[in-house]
Amino acid sequence: MTDLTLQQANQIINHAIAIARELNMNPLTVVVLDSSGHLKALQREDGASMIRQQIATAKAWGAVNMGVSSRGLETVAQQRPDFMNALITIADGKIMPVPGGVLIRDADNHLLGAVGISGDKSDQDERCAIAGIEAVGFFASI
């Protein structure tokens, strides 16, 4: 199994931010967690609000710990709101069930971690996460 390196995590972040600048998006905060949900790398662009770090982390943390993207968690929240509320409570509020948290997988489909992005519309955050993951040669699981 491949391990996610700090260099790869930083490359994911740099590419995600570069895409956001090309698209003239709001300032982003980008978080990369390893497969255990531990912080690997984080960057907050100038002008990104302080709470964006917690939102981006919650998107990635929920994804990596539930094994499904935060978009998938959004679907669960819509279909089973009582379950999602209980899950968020159990996780001490560390889950954000909206797009922007994307799983990182290698060519053998092993889970390497997750990217969480916050700062713009959730769909745009997710778009940048996918681009960052794919730029490094990994696969985005949404």
In this prediction, residue 1 carries a pLDDT of 60
Question: What's 28's domain CATH number?
Answer: 3.30.450.150
Tell the burial category of 139 from Cβ atoms under 10 Å away from its Cβ (0-12, 13-18, 19+). Answer: middle
User: What parts of the chain have a pLDDT lower than 70?
Assistant: 1
CA separation for the pair 24, 82 (Å, rounded): 37
Report DSSP letters for 90-125, one per residue.
Answer: HTTT----SS-EEEEE-TT--EEEEEEEESS-HHHH
In this prediction, residue 142 carries a pLDDT of 87
Closest CA to 55 of 141, 8, 120: 120
Count of domains for the chain: 1
Residue 95 lies in a domain: yes
CA quadruple 14, 15, 19, 25: dihedral sign: negative
Q: What is residue 142's DSSP assignment?
A: -
pLDDT digits (tens, 9 = 90+) for 9-28: 999 999 999 999 999 999 99
Residue 1 lies in a domain: no
- Structural domain span for residue 114: 6-141
Residue 73 lies in a domain: yes
